[in-house]
């Protein structure tokens, strides 16, 4: 019984999807994200072209444009990985999708290769947003902060069990 309680409160890690610099969501130039209308999380200004899964889970959504992915973790946490601002307008140009919707994914597994140079040349920002869409159901603890440099697969957010358990 004591161990069941410990299991529920064990910190689960959400990892950085790319090497880069942390940006707070409120500083992203898209009001839907900056005002927290979709959820809570962080953004990364990427320094490499591969975007990786931040958790183990199931790919519940893979946009055909390659700019966004939905992942549901084994503990029920729901993440949106959104690459760039308004990059849906590129209609897939600059994105090489490496996964399929419904696929089981491991933390660190590549989701997509992005041509960030091309994306910037086309006039789009390259911020990668990691948003917990059901944040209200979990206790969250950010471990990375604005302007902090992170390596791919470094812990950036912990979530510690559901609030209703």
Q: Which are the catalytic amino acids?
A: 82
Report the alpha-carbon distance of residue 56 to residue 89 in Å, rounded: 29
Report the alpha-carbon distance of residue 73 to residue 132 in Å, rounded: 11
The end-to-end CA distance of the chain, in Å, is 14
Report the alpha-carbon distance of residue 93 to residue 91 in Å, rounded: 6
27 φ, ψ (degrees, to nearest 5) = -100, 5
- Let me know: does 88 contact 94? Beta carbons within 8 Å: no
| CB-count exposure of residue 35 (10 Å: 0-12, 13-18, 19+) | exposed
């Amino acid at each position: 019984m004591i161990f069941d309680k410990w299991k529920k409160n064990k910190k689960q890690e959400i990892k950085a999807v790319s090497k880069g610099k942390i940006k707070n969501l409120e500083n992203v130039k898209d009001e839907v994200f900056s005002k927290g209308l979709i959820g809570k999380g962080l953004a990364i200004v990427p320094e490499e072209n591969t975007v990786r899964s931040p958790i183990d889970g199931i790919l519940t959504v893979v946009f055909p444009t390659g700019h966004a992915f939905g992942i549901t973790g084994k503990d029920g946490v729901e993440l949106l990985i959104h690459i760039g601002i308004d990059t849906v307008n590129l209609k897939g140009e600059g994105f090489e999708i490496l996964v399929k919707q419904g696929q089981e994914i491991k933390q660190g597994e590549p989701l997509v290769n992005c041509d960030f140079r091309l994306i910037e040349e086309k006039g789009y920002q390259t911020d990668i947003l990691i948003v917990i869409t059901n944040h209200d159901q979990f206790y969250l603890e950010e471990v990375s902060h604005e302007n902090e440099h992170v390596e791919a697969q470094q812990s950036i957010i912990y979530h510690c069990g559901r609030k209703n358990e």
